[in-house]
Amino acid sequence: MGEHPSPGPAVAACAEAERIEELEPEAEERLPAAPEDHWKVLFDQCDPENTGYISTGKFRSLLESHSSKLDPHKREVLLALADSHADGQICYQDFVNLMSNKRSNSFRQAILQGNRRLSSKALLEEKGLSLSQRLIRHVAYETLPREIDRKWYYDSYTCCPPPWFMITVTLLEVAFFLYNGVSLGQFVLQVTHPRYLKNSLVYHPQLRAQAWRYLTYIFMHAGIEHLGLNVVLQLLVGVPLEMVHGATRIGLVYVAGVVAGSLAVSVADMTAPVVGSSGGVYALVSAHLANIVMVSTSRSQRVFLALMEFGRAVWLRFHPSAYPPCPHPSFVAHLGGVAVGITLGVVVLRNYEQRLQDQSLWWIFVAMYTVFVLFAIFWNIFAYTLLDLKLPPPP
C-alpha cells in the first residue's frame, strides 16, 4: 500500500496555510535517515567561511545532487522552499530541517510565499494508480480539507498499523447484539423485550452508581435497525478517520463522546435509560463535518444517515413504552456526542500531524470537558435527591 507512482508531483499549493509542526516520526521515513553531522559536512562545504548561511542557489544545487535519494513528491516542495527565502540565504538549522524532511515553520513560509512556484496539479489528476493507491487517495479527500495535507498523507501512509480500533469496537457491538438476540429470541426492537433492561451493560437511572454503565451501554442496541445505522456510520466515518489520524486520536474522540452522551442523559433526561453507540458515532460525525468546509455528495449521504438515526431515536423516546413506567431509551446521548465532536473533536482533527499538546485550544476544550464531567458527577450524587425525582423501578 505504501508504493506510489513516480510521475507527477504530489505536493501542490494551498492558499489557506496554518502553522505546520514537524512530521510524526513514522512519516519521516521517506527520506534517508542521515545523521545531522552528515548534513553539517555538506553545509560546511557550501559555507567555507563559516557564516552559518548558504545561498539558496547552493541549496538548490545540493537538492539536485541528492535528488536520487529524495522522494520525488517531496523534492518539489523543498525546491519551492529554497525559492521562498526572500533574503536569498538559508541558515544551518533550516538546512538540517529541510534535508531531514521536517515540516517546520519554513514550510509555512514556502506555502505562503512560494505558491506560484509549486505545481497546480491536484492529487485527483494523477493517473496510473493501483487499487490500493486509489483507496488511500479517496481516504485523503474524504477526511482532509487541504490539498497539501492530502498529498502529504498520500505520500506517507503505510497502512501500519491498520484501523483496528473502529473495526474492533464494531465487531464487539455486533457480537453482543447477536448474543442478546439469541438469548432474548428477538432481533427487531429488542428494547421492547421485558428482560432487555436487566442486562448489566445498559445505563439505567436507578443503577447510575454502577460507573461502568456510562461506557458499556454502547454494546446494547435497541434493535437491528439501531445497530445497522450505527455500524454503517462507524465504518463510513470512523475507519477513514482512523486511517488518517490514528487509533489514539479517534479512540479519544469516540470514548469522550460515549461518556458525554450518558452523562448528558443523566443531567437532561434523568428518568430514561441509555443504549447504543450513538454518543461516540455522533462525536466522530460532527467533528468530521465541522472540520471539512466543503461537503460533497458522499458526505451529504452520511449527514442523511445521521439525521435518520437521530429521528428514529427521537421517535422511539416518545413512543409509548412497552414496560411502563420506564420510558424508552433517551436520544440526548446523540446531542452529547455532537457537543464533543464540534469542540474537542474538531481540535483533534484540525491538523492530522500537529501534536495535540502544542495546541492551546486543545487544553481549553479538555478543561471544558473535565468541568462538565465533574458537574455531571456531582449532579448524579445530589440532584436526584434534591429534586425528589420519581425514577422508574430497577429492572
Task: Give, for all 395 residues of the chain, the pLDDT tens digit.
Answer: 444 443 333 333 333 333 333 333 333 333 344 445 666 777 777 777 787 777 777 777 777 776 656 555 556 656 665 666 556 677 766 666 656 555 554 454 554 444 444 444 567 777 778 888 889 988 888 888 877 677 778 877 888 889 999 999 999 999 999 999 999 999 998 988 889 999 999 999 999 999 999 999 999 999 999 999 999 999 999 999 999 999 999 999 999 999 999 999 999 999 999 999 999 999 999 999 888 754 344 566 778 888 889 998 999 888 887 767 778 899 999 999 999 999 999 888 877 767 787 788 889 999 999 999 999 999 999 998 898 888 888 88
Sign of CA dihedral 318, 319, 322, 328: negative
d(CA 120, CA 112): 14
pTM over 0.95: no
6 is annotated as an active-site residue: no
Please tell me which residue in 278, 286, 288, 328 is annotated as part of the active site. Answer: 278
CATH architecture of 164-387: Up-down Bundle (1.20)
Contact 199, 192 (CB under 8 A): no
C-alpha cell at 102: 521536517
Q: Give CA separation, 105 vs 91, 94, 109, 333, in Å.
A: 13, 9, 6, 41
334 is annotated as an active-site residue: yes
Dump the DSSP string for 78-141: HHHHHHH-TTSEEEHHHHHHHHTT---HHHHHHHHH-GGGS----GGG--S--HHHHHHHHHHH
- Pick from 189, 207, 184, 321: nearest CA to 262: 207
